[in-house]
Chains A and B, each alone.
Chain A
Amino acid sequence: MATEFKLPELGESIETIQVLKVLVSVGDTVAVDQSVLELETDKATIDLPSSVAGSVKQVHVAVGDELKIGDLIFSLEGATAEPDSTPTSAEPVAAPEPVAPVLAPEPARPEAPAASPSTAPTAVEFRIPELGESIETIQVLKVFASVGDTISLDDPALELETDKATIELPVTVAGVVEHVHVNAGDELSVGDLVFTVMSDAAPVAAPAAPAPEPATTEAPAPEASATEPTAVTSAEPVAESTLPASKGKRSPAAPSVRKFAREIGIDISQVPGTGPMGRISAGDVKTYSKQLNVSRSAPAVVAGSAPMGMPSLPELPDFGKFGTVKRDKMSVIRRKTAEQMTMSWLMVPHVTIFEKADITELDALRKRYGDRAEDAGGKLTVASMIIKIVAQALKIFPNFNASVDMVNREIIYKTYCNIGVAVDTERGLLVPVIKDVDRKTMIEIATELTEIAERTRSGKVQMADLEGGSFTVSNLGRTAGTFFTPIINYPEVAILGVGRMEIEASVEDGSPRKMLPLSLSFDHRAIDGADASRFLAWIIEALKEPFLLSLGG
């Protein structure tokens, strides 16, 4: 019986998922938790582990595909876990009445992966696989194998120069090279034939594990004296909590509708019914589910539809009339930034106030104690010190650590203090979050900031690192720009922009003062100008007299 592996839930509010790499191919034996896809989401690049094990029968996704939760990724044979049954097998079975005799279907018998017991070598082709997003030009720099060579899995086959980088391309087949179809200098495209290899393995692709026996793909066979009872269930138990029973007043919905809702993960008690006396139809469940999806991706304002009767974006002119143009697909992060910023800009009434902070003392302290942070593996920067000061300020001004719930007409105050820091990366702007800043020392914050910024830049940031922020600090850096108007990272209510430090002469004694331009944007629905003025004044005072912090603010 074939099992399907579908894209599981990846985390709250992940909407866009793009395939960066497919790490398995037909015939591969995958194990549970083995990484099978590299995905780019609107939050981070992640490796997707498999929840099933078995031999890959078919791969349904390709590099560049955009996926949704529940999309089929691959089908397996001889799988050991069935997290979700295929719709066909979910057909209700007729009641046990004496209808036409039903033959028991073949019991699921796992097949050996790459079942090809024949030892006669087969010719296998090795072609250029998908290399990555938007790689168009591939030029061969070096060919590592020649006719007669025995190559094995993951041996380097070619050195390629792409428009992004120079890469070594490993082979995904094993055997003796029969024919080499490329030469150094050739320009190739995805799918071009590289080698013909005489392989003992099945023609599809070499199995990842050497000579897998059928038994390895089966559920761990329960011994007569099984001591590990939980290891033998054939299906992953559906936790009771994920399938809540109707509680209290039952929703007015037919059993088929309740089942439908359960299957697509909708809590029937949340679905408004449109029938008489609120009766819920299957259509109501669909509508509700659609609305959920829409509201999750509500900020998709850029896509064209305009909110609140605003005119939609006019059509773009034909730029070709004025000269040649090149169209590049937006990366997922670019697009999400565009959507998020547009939404915030359009929906949140922004006010920005500007002021300079004298950080002469602070910077002196930073230099004096910088070694201590370095000993701890971090770098004491003005930014890390600002984060600490902001955390203190948020305690005193809780309305800056809040969100606005216009639906319920409520302000949501957060008791936690998680500060996001805008980080410029090659792939775009990301905002990793330092959690519980109020409970961390300046050295700890400095260390964590150094580490998380590095991970963000190198694309190794985890989903959890990007979630849960309650206030954002955006540092423009040292290049240029004093004041600017940062856009609030919705649903937060304020953002502090830090500009380039300047040296100014003190009006009192003419001494050089290090002045840091600060730009505070706030959501006028939650915060008034006077609050913002006090909040910023407090921060400036703390920056000027950092000793105040240790006195308890």
Chain B
Amino acid sequence: MADTELLIVGGGPAGYPAAFIGADHGLDVTLVDMEDNPGGVCLYRGCIPSKALLHVAEIITEAREAEAFGLTFGEPVLDVDKLREWKNSVVTKLTSGLGQLGKQRKVNFVQGRATFTGANSVEIEAADGHKKTMTFDNAIVSTGSSPAMIPFARGLNRVMDSTGALALEDIPERLLVVGGGYIGLELGQAYCAFGSKVSVVEMLPNLMAGADPDLSRVLAQRVKKDFEAVMLNTKVLGMASNETSVTVRFEGADGTRSEETYDRVLVSVGRRPNSADLGLETTAVVVNEQGFVEVDNQRRTAQPSIYAIGDVAGEPMLAHKATHEARVAIEAIKGHKTIYDPSAIPAVVFTNPQIAWCGITEREAKEQGIEVKIAKFPWAASGRATTLGRSDGLTKLIADAETERILGVGLVGPGAGEMIAEGTLAIEMGAVAEDIALTIHPHPTLSETIMEAAEAISGKAVHYVSR
């Protein structure tokens, strides 16, 4: 008999739900993670601490914008140490809560690093250096991903990745963000609100290249206004740093080269799956060229006793997708007829304004040759948006041209991240635009914009006349 029925390597938003759900299904579960509690990048160095900082940034921004409503607070005073402490307390509260939940479920939590030594065994090196082997019936690899680093920036003084930026060592006077994706823009906006002069450099012609341009444009306009510089179509050629600053060399689209000096540089050029140094080569597990572990639709790897979920198992690298996969993997282990089969996975960028989308984007519909009807409802026509002083948002529905079934939803504006869940549900349920149009939405809320966009799919929105 194996030492444990289910061994889970990595306690992030893939691994810890797998441990909990596994225990709830009656499995004897061992969860191995290097931190002292479950949580992973999401809770320790990702979603949660960044949202704590972004919340503070939003308060600063809103307070400033309140001047237009006749409310003036004066210049904010930021105690960085206290902010860091508060952010850390949020992390501790949530991770220790997960530790408790694990204990209540009798999950055997082992702090350490697990390395596979075969199809049914690992060696675990505990935090104190003590090594032991452990056998298992089934294992789940949920080791997540790490920030990618540009080779020439690696190890440079004052060059940080997202982990470093969230550590909040200080508020640099001038900050360069390399990479105009969601991590760079979220953290860039936070530092901008805290007082840094932020520049962003992006190789592609657009910020937030994954989202439809009509959505990302709304964010880009704001970023251009708030940031010191937005450099698109621009390459970073090299960096040099000393004790106090980093000098960065750029090359623009037209080939012109330039050089700027910053107090700190944040490199946010993507994330890489953590599939190396796990001993997976001692198993039949297949790791593809991008470093993702290959899995079937039950998240089972080529080694039937080993599953992989979360970032390490493939795109999109999102916590909520990881948690859903955890359920699939556990049910598969229990022999249920379950598969990973989502119709839509919501993506949320917690910038100001937020961008959120799910299902297909307009561009994907075009690429795949799907005939669609698109309805857009600008938030300028929303009473609620106007009361917030935010009329720059947009709600967009993408429906099948023939059946008017909702295939994609895109939102930009404050609170978009909360609203996208309705769109995801609509897609999963196979709702047609009329279903949403005939569902009474509360007034006055931003969610009405989804209803009105649905009305516009088949006819006319009450509060907006499109030309």
Number of chain A residues close to chain B: CB under 8 A: 57
Answer yes or no: B1 CB below 8 A from chain A CBs.
yes
B118 near A225 with CB under 8 A, answer yes
B33 to chain A, nearest CB (A): 15
A233 near B336 with CB under 8 A, answer no
Query: Chain A residues near B342 (CB, 8 Å)?
Result: 255
Among the listed stretches B15-23, B224-232, B379-387, which one makes contact with chain A, having 4 or more residues with CB under 8 Å of it? B15-23
Counted as pairs of residues, one from A and one from B, with CB atoms less than 8 Å apart, the total is: 168
Known: A106-B26, A230-B304. A280 touches B430 (CB 8 A): yes
Q: Which among A89, A221, A278, A279 is the interface contact of B26 at CB below 8 angstroms? A: A89
Answer yes or no: A377 CB below 8 A from chain B CBs.
no
Query: Chain A residues near B101 (CB, 8 Å)?
Result: 96, 98, 101
A229 near B430 with CB under 8 A, answer no
Q: Which among B117, B283, B298, B432 is the interface contact of A276 at CB below 8 angstroms? A: B432
B335 near A236 with CB under 8 A, answer yes
Question: Within the assembled complex, what's the spacing in Å between the Cα atoms of A230 and B137?
Answer: 11
Q: Which among A93, A255, A276, A280 is the interface contact of B21 at CB below 8 angstroms? A: A93
Answer yes or no: A253 CB below 8 A from chain B CBs.
yes
Answer yes or no: A38 CB below 8 A from chain B CBs.
no
Known: A229-B304, A235-B335, A236-B335. A96 touches B16 (CB 8 A): yes
B344 to chain A, nearest CB (A): 10
Question: Within the assembled complex, what's the spacing in Å between the Cα atoms of A253 and B431?
Answer: 9
A119 to chain B, nearest CB (A): 27
A212 to chain B, nearest CB (A): 16
Answer yes or no: B241 CB below 8 A from chain A CBs.
no
Q: Which among A95, A104, A254, A263 is the interface contact of B105 at CB below 8 angstroms? A: A104
Q: Which among A103, A238, A259, A279 is the interface contact of B335 at CB below 8 angstroms? A: A238
B341 near A258 with CB under 8 A, answer yes
Q: Nearest residue in B to A268 (C-beta to C-beta)? A: B341
Query: Chain A residues near B340 (CB, 8 Å)?
Result: 245
Residue among A98, A229, A253, A263 having the largest count of chain B Cβ atoms under 10 Å? A229
Answer yes or no: B193 CB below 8 A from chain A CBs.
no
Question: Within the assembled complex, what's the spacing in Å between the Cα atoms of A440 and B333?
Answer: 48
Question: Within the assembled complex, what's the spacing in Å between the Cα atoms of A225 and B343?
Answer: 41
Number of chain B residues close to chain A: CB under 8 A: 64
> Which residues 99-122 in A have Cβ within 8 Å of B in the complex?
101-108
Query: Chain B residues near A84 (CB, 8 Å)?
Result: 335, 337
> Which residues 56-114 in A have Cβ within 8 Å of B in the complex?
82-85, 89-90, 93-96, 98, 101-108
B404 near A235 with CB under 8 A, answer no
> Which residues 225-239 in A have Cβ within 8 Å of B in the complex?
225-226, 229-230, 232-238
The main secondary structure of chain A at its interface with chain B is loop
1/0 per residue, CB under 8 A from A, across B342-353: the answer is 110000000000
A101 near B137 with CB under 8 A, answer no
B104 to chain A, nearest CB (A): 4
Answer yes or no: B392 CB below 8 A from chain A CBs.
no
Answer yes or no: B338 CB below 8 A from chain A CBs.
yes
Question: Within the assembled complex, what's the spacing in Å between the Cα atoms of A105 and B24?
Answer: 7
B360 to chain A, nearest CB (A): 10
Question: Within the assembled complex, what's the spacing in Å between the Cα atoms of A377 and B136?
Answer: 55
Query: Chain A residues near B25 (CB, 8 Å)?
Result: 89, 93, 105
Q: Nearest residue in A to B302 (C-beta to C-beta)? A: A229
Query: Chain A residues near B333 (CB, 8 Å)?
Result: 234-235
Known: A221-B1, A229-B305, A277-B405. A234 touches B138 (CB 8 A): yes
Question: Within the assembled complex, what's the spacing in Å between the Cα atoms of A221 and B428?
Answer: 41
Answer yes or no: B27 CB below 8 A from chain A CBs.
yes
Answer yes or no: A459 CB below 8 A from chain B CBs.
no
Q: Which among A85, A224, A240 is the interface contact of B121 at CB below 8 angstroms? A: A224
B24 near A229 with CB under 8 A, answer no
A262 near B133 with CB under 8 A, answer no
A96 near B298 with CB under 8 A, answer no
Query: Chain B residues near A230 (CB, 8 Å)?
Result: 304-305
Answer yes or no: A16 CB below 8 A from chain B CBs.
no
A107 near B27 with CB under 8 A, answer yes
B118 near A226 with CB under 8 A, answer yes
Answer yes or no: B28 CB below 8 A from chain A CBs.
yes
Question: Within the assembled complex, what's the spacing in Å between the Cα atoms of A83 and B333?
Answer: 11
A222 near B120 with CB under 8 A, answer yes
A109 to chain B, nearest CB (A): 9
Question: Within the assembled complex, what's the spacing in Å between the Cα atoms of A252 and B327?
Answer: 23
Of the A-B pairs whose beta carbons lie under 8 Å apart in the complex, a sample of 23, sorted by A's number, is A84-B335, A89-B334, A101-B105, A102-B105, A103-B106, A107-B27, A223-B135, A225-B118, A229-B118, A229-B120, A230-B304, A232-B119, A232-B120, A232-B305, A233-B138, A234-B333, A240-B298, A243-B339, A245-B297, A246-B341, A252-B430, A254-B428, A276-B435
Closest 6 CB pairs of A and B: A229-B119, A252-B430, A104-B106, A235-B335, A222-B120, A277-B403
A-B contact sample (7 more), CB < 8 A, given A95-B323, A98-B101, A232-B305: A96-B16, A96-B20, A102-B23, A230-B305, A238-B337, A243-B339, A280-B430
